[in-house]
Amino acid sequence: MIKLDISNVLTEEIGQNGLSISEVESEAKKAISLLTQKPYKELEFINLPFQDLIKTKEYGKKARDYEYIIILGIGGSALGPRVLLESLKPFNNLINKNKVFIYDNVDPATLKHVIEIIDLKSTLINVISKSGSTAETLASFLIFWKMIKNRKLDVREHFIFTTDPEKGNLRIIAEEYEIPTLEIPKNVVGRYSVLTPVGLFIAEAIGLKSEEILEGAKEISERAFKENLNENPMAYLASCLYLMDTLKKRKVLVFLPYSDRLKTLSEWFCQLWGESLGKQGKGTTPYPSLGTTDQHSQLQLWMEGPEDKIILFVSVDSHGFQEEIPEEFNYIEGLKYLGGHTLEELINTEQLATEMALNLNKKPNLKIVLPKINSYYIGQIFQFLQVVTSMAGLLYNINPFNQPGVELGKRLTYGAMGKRGFETEGEEVKKYLKKKRFLI
Ligand code: PA5
């Protein structure tokens, strides 16, 4: 089980910037009680570790026959797969037979490079969209669909859709053209979908075992409703983050893993936290970070800048590689002290030193400890953070599963791009553009 250290948010450690253990525990109990009432059907993500994997594994196995796999999806439909790829198969495209490209941002230059690299004949395109209506994903889909058709290739062999089990544009096309599909359960929303075929299909395709990922997550699902606080670290973390915002005005949450393989976990978490909690004037701003790199970039700001941050470290006990630093130049103290230690010792010592420095400066910080990075613990940290985020949403008394604030931008895009039914928005965009004053 991954561990949580909350000592550096308590008053014993950081004085008046901290919280008392009784207030943390009282709010943690509240979080568990709110979760137990299951007020949202979207909490179904907690049951995902118990899903049937037969179809995901079967399609994942077939996908291994392709040299290239392209994922078309964005937000919750891209970030989870990216974490799995980069944490569990780092440098996959340089090392392994199956190359994976996650094309999310509709940047035409990126698309050009991907198209130049792949061989369409040996490419499987996994279009991932829960709604089946996301403009970016559908635009990229149309481009690849046309390319496959132009090459007279069979669309049934080059596409697989991961989408809603019943509705949406992808479902309509899948039925008409007999495209293989994988289902995202009806009540699971994008940013909580990594433990569905959204993440598990690509995991299988790159040779991971999805049951191991789910095994780690299962431990969290089983503990999420436990009233005994000693068994429910998720409730402690939700409580600490919530109270640090509401009582101590810590409005910026720095997510700081000490491992390159967890860099994209920062991006995934920031989407989860930001899109789930930023509502009705509530929520805190997640900041994706990386240790040790950001010690040489942001640490100065965290130590002496505005008193508005809380740091959430993620450290890794065993990185799995023991590169020893050579004992050379022993006559120069600046190099001598490094010799004989390992890189793992250095990265973990830097984490500890940074945490202590913040602590001595009375800056609140928390730490999640992963014993190692493998399928089990990656599954576990996904589910851990998803449970923490939903508990925090319940404490804030907001719905952590919707995203009403992103609708307006989507409607204006539809209007500007000429989608029927959005003519008024199209006119609004024209008027807006006329009002602009550029300085040259
Ligand atoms: O969390 C969410 O719901 C969003 O971030 C979605 O994942 C994102 O907008 C993509 O949506 P869809 O999967 O419907 O294409």
Most informative mutation of 134, 163, 271, 279 for ligand 1 (most atoms within 8 A of CB): 134
What's residue 322's pLDDT? Answer: 83
What's residue 321's pLDDT? Answer: 87
Q: Are residues 96 and 17 in the same domain?
A: no
What pTM was computed for the model? 0.97
Q: Give the 3-state DSSP-derived string for the chain, with helices as H, strands as E and coil as C.
A: CCEEECHHHEHHHHHHHCECHHHHHHHHHHHHHHHHCCCCHHHHHHHHHHCCCHHHHHHHHHHCCCCEEEEECCHHHCHHHHHHHHHHCCCHHHHCCCEEEEECCCCHHHHHHHHHHCCHHHEEEEEEECCCCCHHHHHHHHHHHHHHHHCCCCHHHHEEEEECCCCCHHHHHHHHHCCCEEECCCCCCHHHCCCCHHHHHHHHHCCCCHHHHHHHHHHHHHHCCCCCHHHCHHHHHHHHHHHHHHCCCCCEEEEEECCHHHHHHHHHHHHHHHHHHCCCCCCCEEEECCCCHHHHCCHHHHHHCCCCEEEEEEEEEECCCCCECCCCCCCCHHHHCCCCCEHHHHHHHHHHHHHHHHHHCCCCEEEEEEEECCHHHHHHHHHHHHHHHHHHHHHHCCCCCCCHHHHHHHHHHHHHHCCCCCHHHHHHHHHHHHHCCCCC
Q: Are residues 200 and 226 in the same domain?
A: no
Ligand 1: which residue has its CA nearest to atom 8?
75
Q: Which long-range contacts (CB under 8 A, 24 or more apart) does 147-152 make?
A: 147/115, 147/120, 148/120, 151/120, 151/121
pLDDT tens per residue, the chain (440 residues)?
Answer: 999 999 999 999 999 999 999 999 999 999 999 999 999 999 999 999 999 999 999 999 999 999 999 999 999 999 999 999 999 999 999 999 899 999 999 999 999 999 999 999 999 999 999 999 999 999 999 999 999 999 999 999 999 999 999 999 999 999 999 999 999 999 999 999 999 999 999 999 999 999 999 999 999 999 999 999 999 999 999 999 999 999 999 999 999 999 999 999 999 999 999 999 999 999 999 999 999 999 999 999 999 999 999 999 999 999 998 899 999 999 999 999 999 999 999 999 999 999 999 999 999 999 999 999 999 999 999 999 999 999 999 999 999 999 999 999 999 999 999 999 999 999 999 999 999 889 88
What's residue 273's pLDDT? Answer: 98
5 Cα: distance to centroid of ligand 1 (angstroms)? 32
Please identify, by atom number, the ligand 1 atom nearest to the C-alpha of residue 78.
Answer: 7
Q: Are residues 95 and 228 in the same domain?
A: no
Measured distance CA(200)–CA(198) in Å, rounded: 6
Q: Are residues 334 and 255 in the same domain?
A: yes
Tokens of 418: 């000429």
What's residue 439's pLDDT? Answer: 87
Close Cβ partners of 320 (under 8 Å, ≥ 6 residues apart): 372, 373
Tokens of 53: 């994997």
Ligand 1: which residue has its CA nearest to atom 12?
129
218 Cα: distance to centroid of ligand 1 (angstroms)? 24
130 Cα: distance to centroid of ligand 1 (angstroms)? 7
Please identify, by atom number, the ligand 1 atom nearest to the C-alpha of residue 184.
Answer: 13
344 Cα: distance to centroid of ligand 1 (angstroms)? 37
What's residue 386's pLDDT? Answer: 98
Phi, psi (degrees; rounded to nearest 5) at 369:
-115, 125
Please identify, by atom number, the ligand 1 atom nearest to the C-alpha of residue 76.
Answer: 7
User: One of 27, 136, 275, 425 is an active-site residue; which one?
Assistant: 275
Is 410 a catalytic site residue?
A: yes
User: One of 116, 152, 296, 333 is an active-site residue; which one?
Assistant: 296
What's the number of domains the chain is made of?
2
What's residue 27's pLDDT? Answer: 98
Q: Are residues 201 and 218 in the same domain?
A: no
Is 275 a catalytic site residue?
A: yes
Please identify, by atom number, the ligand 1 atom nearest to the C-alpha of residue 272.
Answer: 1
What's residue 314's pLDDT? Answer: 98
Question: Residue 292's domain is classified under what CATH number?
Answer: 3.40.50.10490
What's residue 133's pLDDT? Answer: 94
Cα–Cα separations (whole angstroms), residue 191 to 78, 140, 382: 9, 20, 11
Pocket flag, ligand 1, residue 129 (CB < 6 Å):
yes
Q: Are residues 222 and 197 in the same domain?
A: no
Is 307 a catalytic site residue?
A: no
The answer as to whether 118 is a domain residue is yes
- 8 A C-beta contact, residue 71 and residue 101: yes
Q: Are residues 11 and 72 in the same domain?
A: no
Q: Are residues 99 and 183 in the same domain?
A: yes
The answer as to whether 232 is a domain residue is yes
Q: Are residues 352 and 392 in the same domain?
A: yes
What's residue 303's pLDDT? Answer: 96
State the residue range of the domain holding 97. Answer: 65-206
User: One of 231, 410, 419, 428 is an active-site residue; which one?
Assistant: 410
The answer as to whether 32 is a domain residue is yes
Q: Are residues 304 and 252 in the same domain?
A: yes
